[in-house]
Amino acid sequence: MPLKLIIFDLDGTLVDSSLDICNALNHAIRADGVPEVSVDEMIALVGEGASALIGKLIEKRGLDLDVPTLLRRFLDYYRTHLADHSAPYPGTEKMLRTLSRQKKAIVSNKLEALTIQLLKALDLLEHFDYVAGGDTGAQKKPSPVPIFDALARFDTLPGDALFVGDSIYDMAASRAAGVRSVAALYGYGSPGFSQGADYSIGRIEELIDLVAGL
């Protein structure tokens, strides 16, 4: 089947943003005297957007804190520090240039404005024809709706697209949408997240050969 569209997750797939997200989370909880979160602890909770990240941390640690307050602190900090340490994974720009013939989209659970801001900060935005965040449409991953929206944007059938992601939410969304999935094994995914994926890659550059073989 011809490949017309490649849809990417952002954090943990194209960009390692873990330290900046962790720093924003720690900024949000510091005022309440909560012990700081490690990057590894944050990675185990991330994937469904900032509000869910905070909610999971509160539940895990049994905290009696207000999610909207923490979310406001998180976003206020993150907006001005989202690219302090974040960087594309090695080979990302080469991959995007090499696969320039295919339309490319981002479907992230990060807020759309922050997704675009981070892509701009890392000089990646020009490579994408469509960018959707967790607040762009009616639903977010693991719902297939954001993928359906991207397919509709380019009048593309599910069988003519790939979804590249690093989490169970990405794999579930692509599976429900009928889109072939590529598990990014180098990202933030929990053990076993790639079970059932159509393909897997250990480096983002491997996508070049994968696409060439389709």
> How are the residues of the chain apportioned to helix, strand and coil, as percentages rounded to the nearest 5?
45, 15, 40
Distance between CA atoms of residues 10 and 24, nearest Å: 18
User: What spatial distance separates the first Cα and last Cα of the chain, rounded to whole Å?
Assistant: 7
**pLDDT attached to residue 121:** 98
* Cα–Cα dist 25/111, whole Å: 15
Domains observed in the chain: 5-16+88-212 (3.40.50.1000), 18-81 (1.10.150.240)
Contacts of 78 (CB under 8 A, 6+ apart): 20, 21, 24, 50, 114
Residue 15's DSSP bridge partners are 11, 88
- Note the pLDDT of residue 107: 98
Chain centroid to CA 79:
17
pLDDT score recorded for residue 1: 61
Q: How far is CA 188 from the centre of its chain?
A: 10
User: Catalytic one among 9, 11, 166, 170?
Assistant: 9
Nearest to 143 by CA among 3, 49, 6, 43: 49
Closest by CA position to 49, among listed 123, 150, 143, 119? 143
Mean pLDDT by 10 residues, the chain (214 residues): 92 98 96 93 93 93 90 97 98 97 97 98 98 96 98 97 97 98 96 95 98 94
Distance between CA 163 and CA 105 in Å, rounded?
A: 9
Report pTM: 0.95
Give the integer Cα–Cα distance in Å for 129 and 132.
10
Q: Are strands 161-165 and 87-88 parallel, antiparallel or unpaired?
A: unpaired
Number of Cβ within 10 Å of residue 208's Cβ equals 17
Annotated active-site residue 155? The verdict is no
Of 11, 69, 19, 62, which Cα lies nearest the Cα of 41? 19
| Neighbour count for residue 151 (Cβ, 10 Å) | 22
Structure tokens at 13: 């797939």
From CA 210, how far away is CA 47, in angstroms rounded?
Answer: 25
pLDDT (tens digit per residue) in 2-39: 799 999 999 999 999 999 999 999 999 998 999 999 99
pLDDT number for residue 63 = 86
